[in-house]
């Protein structure tokens, strides 16, 4: 049980260190909406893979709640979700679930925690990154930043606009509009949540099966062998004498 906790904690700390390390570097070395090609200026994917510094007040991939208290509600929801995930992972370890399931939930928890750190503390310790300014933000004295507790902005940076086109004019409602894939800008924490969810769905589907389903999910060969053994036992027990 302790080994599994060490494994989970190791996954969480690794994701948090990578996530926060990159975010702090972006915040203190890039100005808002600056682009840096991930593979250099001469890279094949110069325009399709880049660091693009933005800040958002919402959920993963820049989605947000357009409401006065939406940011506060979202931050509190994240904290509650992390608390629930900690309890849930503890129950999984207690019930001896395999490492693949624990790895998936550890990624989800780490991703949620990574974005909570931004919301909770970045507004307290950083200067504001100003729109249409090439000034790079820096650290401030604790509490003298750009926003109060839980109102900080989440730092995003990965942008992969692999292709784009304009919808034909005859398409209803969206005709003439520009379409870009993949448009959302995200961070390591968002990626960890996404990988955790997909790894559960693709590689740990047995997690969603009940114990009854697992018991009924027995190969037909084993069932036939069990039936044959039962018939043999019955024939031994019932062996009437010949006339």
Active site residues: 156, 190
Distance, CA of 243 to CA of 136 (rounded, Å): 103
Rounded Cα–Cα distance for residues 216 and 209 (Å): 11
Rounded to an integer, what distance in angstroms lies between the CA atom of residue 61 and that of residue 160?
12
Degrees, nearest 5: CA angle 226-232-238? 135
Distance of CA 93 to the CA centre of its chain: 20
Alpha-carbon torsion angle 176, 181, 182, 184, nearest 10: 10
What gap in Å lies between CA 90 and CA 127, rounded to an integer? Answer: 38
């Amino acid at each position: 049980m302790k080994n599994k906790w060490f494994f989970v904690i190791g996954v969480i700390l690794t994701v948090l260190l990578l996530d926060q390390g990159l975010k702090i570097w972006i915040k203190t070395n890039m100005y808002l909406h600056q682009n840096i090609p991930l593979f250099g200026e001469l890279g094949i994917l110069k325009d399709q893979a880049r660091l693009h510094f933005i800040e958002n007040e919402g959920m993963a991939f820049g989605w947000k709640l357009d409401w006065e208290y939406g940011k506060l509600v979202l931050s509190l929801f994240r904290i509650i979700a992390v608390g629930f995930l900690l309890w849930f992972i503890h129950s999984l370890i207690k019930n001896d679930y395999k490492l693949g399931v624990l790895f998936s939930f550890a990624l989800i928890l780490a991703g949620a925690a990574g974005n909570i750190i931004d919301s909770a503390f970045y507004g307290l310790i950083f200067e504001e990154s100003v729109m249409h300014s090439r000034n790079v933000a820096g650290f401030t004295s604790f509490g003298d930043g750009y926003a109060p507790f839980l109102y900080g902005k989440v730092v995003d940076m990965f942008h992969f606009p692999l292709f784009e086109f304009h919808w034909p004019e005859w398409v209803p409602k969206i005709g003439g509009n520009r379409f870009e894939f993949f448009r959302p800008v995200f961070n390591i924490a968002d990626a960890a949540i996404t990988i955790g969810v997909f790894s559960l769905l693709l590689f740990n589907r047995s997690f969603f099966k009940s114990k009854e389903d697992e018991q009924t999910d027995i190969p037909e060969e084993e069932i036939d062998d069990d039936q044959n053994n039962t018939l043999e036992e019955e024939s031994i027990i019932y062996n009437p004498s010949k006339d």
